């Protein structure tokens, strides 16, 4: 629902994605305007089971207050699980103090603190692990793995469980490909083209080639890139840089849908 990075882009929203699995909704990051994007994409405010926030930069959380408020106005009553860095707890406490006193649902905040992949959420059909990324501040990626019931596995012995990994924002580091190894679909930021590799390194971000190399090393089946810098004017060239290293790459646009 958002493929831009920090600076505003007229035709792109900041980071936000919705993963649907077994009829359940999982929101990943919540940049400014996310609730409007949810309306455009026909997602229910009250059916979001959990929210996963990668880090406390504005382009990943500035939409959270509006969404929480709208959830209350739509009559949400089920607990809402929110996962993110420990500092997010203070942000949520501020919201509850000034805007959430009359909400009919409870926010269950789960602070993250891990040095390697750690299971953080288990749903009926999916389990979610968090892992640290290499950014300027505390930042986490998330891996979503399908849970296959014994009955389904017995009836479909050749079935491969689906998986999805979300990596934004991060500079490259060796362990990342191991932690997302074998995923069906990998989302990896590609903030800059390769010619801006110096800026990517300075700002703890990745280039198109960095993202493609991670997908290749991880043995991912497909790569989706996003989190584009406002300086990018030629998306075809950015995509071509990725595909030269990892051919099964797609450049996401806002409101794109991908079947995992």
For the sheet with 163-167, list strands across it.
Answer: 118-122, 126-132, 140-146, 163-167, 185-189, 222-226, 249-251
> Which residues 6+ apart lie within 8 Å of 74 measured at CB?
45, 46
> Which residues 6+ apart lie within 8 Å of 88 measured at CB?
53, 56, 61, 82, 109, 111
For residue 169, say if its preceding peptide bond is cis, omega within 30 degrees of 0: yes
Count of positions (residues) in the chain: 260
**Alpha-carbon distance 207 to 189, whole Å?**
8
**59 belongs to the catalytic site:** yes
**Alpha-carbon distance 54 to 94, whole Å?**
19
CB 187 within 8 A of CB 224: yes
Catalytic residue among 59, 103, 169, 254: 59
Closest to 126 measured CA to CA, from 111, 148, 156, 142: 148
Positions marked catalytic: 59
């Amino acid at each position: 629902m958002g493929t831009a990075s920090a600076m505003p882009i007229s035709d792109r929203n900041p980071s936000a994605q919705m993963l649907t699995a077994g009829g359940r909704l999982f929101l990943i990051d919540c940049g400014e305007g996310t609730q409007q994007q949810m309306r455009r994409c026909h997602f229910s405010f009250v059916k979001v089971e959990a929210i996963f926030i990668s880090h406390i930069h504005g382009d990943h959380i500035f939409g959270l207050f509006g969404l929480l408020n709208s959830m209350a106005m739509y009559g949400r009553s089920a607990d809402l699980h929110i996962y993110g860095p420990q500092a997010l707890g203070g942000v949520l406490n501020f919201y509850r103090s000034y805007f959430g006193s009359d909400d009919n649902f409870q926010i269950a905040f789960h602070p993250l603190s891990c040095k390697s992949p750690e299971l953080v959420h288990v749903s009926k059909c999916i389990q979610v692990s968090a892992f640290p990324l290499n950014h300027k501040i505390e930042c986490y990626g998330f891996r979503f793995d399908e849970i296959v019931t014994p009955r389904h596995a017995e009836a479909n012995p050749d079935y491969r469980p689906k998986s999805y990994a979300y990596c934004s924002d991060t500079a490259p580091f060796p362990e990342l490909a191991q932690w997302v190894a074998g995923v069906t679909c990998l989302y990896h930021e590609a903030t800059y083209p390769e010619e801006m590799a110096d800026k990517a390194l300075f700002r703890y971000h990745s280039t198109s080639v960095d993202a493609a190399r991670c997908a290749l090393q991880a043995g991912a089946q497909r790569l989706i890139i996003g989190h584009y810098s406002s300086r990018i004017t030629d998306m075809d060239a950015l995509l071509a840089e990725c595909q030269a290293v990892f051919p099964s790459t797609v450049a996401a646009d806002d409101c794109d849908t991908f079947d995992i």
